[in-house]
Copies of this chain bind each other. A is one copy, B any other.
Amino acid sequence: MVGGGRGAFIGGVHRIGAAIDGHIELVCGAFSSDPERSRLSGEDLYVPANRVYGSYQEMIEKEKLLPEGERMDFVSIVTPNHVHFGPAKMALENGFHVVCDKPLAFTMEEALELEALVKKTGLIFALTHNYTGYPMVKQARAMVRSGELGKIRKVVVEYPQGWLSKKEEDNNYKQAIWRTDPTQSGIAGAMGDIGTHAENLAEYVTGLQITEMCADISIFVEGRLLDDDGNVLLHFDNGAKGILHASQISAGEENGLNIRVYGEKGGLYWRQEEPNTLLVSRLDKPKEIYRPKITPLSPEANAHIRVPAGHPEGYLEAFANIYRNFALAVQARMAGEAPDPLLDFPTVSDGVRGMRFIEKVIESGKSTAKWVKF
C-alpha cells in the first residue's frame, strides 16, 4: 500500500475493502512520505517492521527482490491525486498489478501514459470508482442493458455534499486542505473529487457516453482556489439529455450521490445513502422497490451481495466488491484462467474518461459557448 498512514481517510477504507472477503492480506506498505509516520502506521496495522518502507520507490524496489509467493501481489495507491501517477507507473513498470484511487492522475497526459502502460504490460489495473460496486447499481445497469426501460431519454445524476460550506481548509482539516489545493488536486475541486464519480455512475448505469456538456462552475466560499459547486447539462450519444450537478457547499447534505434514469418504458432511482434500495417504475404498473435477496435480481447484482435480505450492506462492502473482483481477476490470471465476467471493476480506461471529464467540464465552465464536446 502506498499512502494511508495515520490521519488519512481513504487508506483505511481500502484496507477494510481488501480485508472483508479474506482474499487479500496487507503485507507491506509505504504509508507516508514521512518515514517515521510510515513506521508508526505500519505498527498500527500489524505489518512486519521490515516491510514498512519509507517511500514507494523503496517499497517497489525491495519487494521486487523478494521471492514470488512472499512478495506483494499488487500495489494499492491511496495517496492524494498528485501522487497517483508516480507509484502507478513504477508499479506497472516493475510488473505489479495496481489498484488506484480516483481520479486516475493529476493531468490528462499522465492518465494517457498510464493507460498506454497498462495496455503494454497487460497488467491488471483497478480504479476505485467504488460507487459502481454496489449491488443495486449493478442491478440498475443490468436492467437498462436488458432494455426493460426502453431507450433512455433522460438522466439526472447528483452528488451534493455540504461539508465544505465553510472554509474548512483553514481549520487544519487534512481532508479539506488537499482537496482544495490545486497543487495536490489538479485543475478541479468538487468536479474532480466527486463530479467524476457522478460521471462514472451515469455512464456505468446507462451504458451511454456523454458527448457534450454545458457547465456552470462556481467557487462559493471566499478565498477558495478550486470549484466547490458545478451544474452541468449533458448530451449523450444516443440522444438522451441529462443533468449532472455536484457540490460541496450544499449545506446539510452528506454524501448524496444519486441517479435517476428515465426511458421510454420506465425509470429507476438509486441513492447512495440508502444503497440497498432501487426504485423501478414501469409505465402503467405500480412502482417497485428492488431490494437484495428478497427481490429476484440479475446475476450481476446477486454476485455482489454477502448477506440475507434486510441486512444492510454499505459503502465498505461496495468498496470490497472492487477489491474482491480485482483479487479474483489476479488469481484467475495466476491460474491462467479467464476472469468471471460478472465480477467487473473500473479500469484504467474509466480513469482516462474521468480525467477527460475533469478537463472538459472546467473548460466548459470557462467557455461562453453553450456546448463543449466531451
Tell me the A residues contacting B by CB distance below 8 Å. Answer: 9, 12-13, 15-16, 19-23, 26, 45-46, 149, 153-154, 156, 160-163, 165-166, 175, 214, 216, 218, 220, 229, 231, 233, 235, 241-243, 245, 247, 249-256, 260, 262-268, 272-276, 279-291, 293-296, 306-317, 367-371
Contact = CB atoms under 8 A, between A and B. Distances in A.
Contact of A282 (B9, B229, B252, B317): B252
Contacts of A241: 216, 218, 229, 231
A250 B154 contact: yes
Contact of A22 (B9, B46, B293): B46
Given A16-B21, A307-B316, A312-B315, 20 more contacts: A16-B22, A20-B316, A22-B26, A23-B46, A163-B308, A163-B309, A165-B283, A214-B216, A231-B242, A233-B233, A252-B281, A253-B267, A253-B310, A254-B310, A272-B312, A276-B314, A285-B295, A286-B288, A286-B289, A312-B314
B286 A295 contact: yes
Contacts of A291: 254, 286-287
Contact of A250 (B214, B267, B275): B267
Contacts of A307: 13, 315-316
Contacts of A272: 310, 312
Complex A-B, nearest 10 residue pairs according to Cβ-Cβ distance, in ascending order:
A252-B281, A255-B310, A254-B310, A312-B314, A286-B288, A252-B267, A311-B315, A314-B314, A254-B309, A287-B289
Contact of A370 (B287, B308, B367): B367
B308 A255 contact: yes
Most buried by B among A9, A264, A282, A310: A310
A241 B9 CA distance: 31
